[in-house]
Homo-oligomer: A and B are copies of this chain.
Amino acid sequence: MKIAVLGTGVVGQTLAGRLAALGHQVTVGTRDPEATLARTAPEEGSDTPVFSAWQAENPQVELATFDGATVQAELIINATGGGVSLAALAVAGAANLDGKVILDVANTLDFSNGFPPSLSVVNTDSLAEQIQRAYPAARVVKSLNTMNCQVMVDPARVPGEHAVFVSGDDPAAKATVAELLSELGWPPSAIWDLGTLSTARGAEMILPLWLSIMRKLGGGEFNFAIARA
């Protein structure tokens, strides 16, 4: 499948690398490819270009602009920061999004007031619904946003059965995402189809709890599970 992964951070890199390893034709989309290739991580004391170093190890993944990545894609993954997702998709443009599955894995976490963070979209709306309203001809599915990206692409890192939630209004689009989840290693019983896209509100709203647990455990190697009678 031709997949565009929007976002060059660790979530985008992790998803792109794993999907390419599974045989998909993956293009990472960014606002300015030259800036992305030059970007270093001075806050981590490194002057090595971060994305360039990653791409050297993942040469089968291409880098393009948001519109260049999406124009040929059959499925688009939104792995940009939730606060800039709508702006990124606007650069991609409706013509490149219409009719396509958009798998939205982003969260609108706002740490500007410290911990606990707040969500910039919450309660009576969700980022996933905002994207769907902005691109009514696209088929938005929310999933994978409730866990660390290493767990997204390799659920067996966390022992036992744990959950990945799926929300969306288009059954065929949800089936496409479920197939992708299966390829990533998620067993059918771990995939929880919550219903319509409005249920993405609930999936987005567990991020503050996720972060409290992450702080307590000192890392993201965990996931929510549903214990049931």
Which residues of A are in contact with B by a Cβ distance under 8 Å? 113, 115-116, 118-119, 122-124, 157-162, 165, 192-195, 198-199, 201-203, 205-213, 215-217, 221-229
Contact = CB atoms under 8 A, between A and B. Distances in A.
Nearest to A121: B123
Contacts of A193: 216
A216 B196 CA distance: 12
B116 A199 contact: yes
A121 B122 CA distance: 11
Contacts of A209: 165, 194, 199, 202-203, 205-206
A202 B116 contact: yes
7 contacts: A122-B122, A122-B205, A158-B229, A159-B228, A194-B209, A206-B209, A224-B226
Contacts of A202: 116, 206-212
Contacts of A157: 229
Given A158-B228, A202-B209, A194 B222 contact: no
A interface majority secondary structure = mixed
Contact of A194 (B124, B158, B212): B212
Contacts of A122: 122-123, 205
Closest 9 CB pairs of A and B: A202-B209, A202-B208, A162-B227, A221-B229, A222-B228, A225-B225, A205-B205, A194-B212, A225-B227
A158 B227 contact: yes
Contacts of A226: 213, 222-225
Given A123-B118, A199-B116, A160 B212 contact: no
A217 B227 CA distance: 12
Given A206-B206, A208-B205, A209-B165, A216 B195 contact: yes
Contacts of A225: 162, 224-227
A198 B124 CA distance: 21
A229 B225 CA distance: 13
